[in-house]
Structure 1
Amino acid sequence: MENNYELLDLEELKFEIESLDSKEEMLFEAKKIEREFISNLVNLRKSQGLTQTQLAEKTGLTQQVISNIEKMDRKPTLTNLIRYLLGLGVNINNLISIQ
Structure 2
Amino acid sequence: MRKTLMLASAFALLATTLSAVAATDEKLASQAHVKMPEAREIALKTFPGKIVKEELEKEKGGSGLRYSFDIAANGVTREIGVDAKDGKVLENSIDNGKD
Normalising by the smaller structure, the TM-score range is 0.3 to 0.5
More helix as a share of residues? 1
Please report the TM-score for the alignment, with normalisation by the length of structure 1: 0.38
More strand as a share of residues? 2
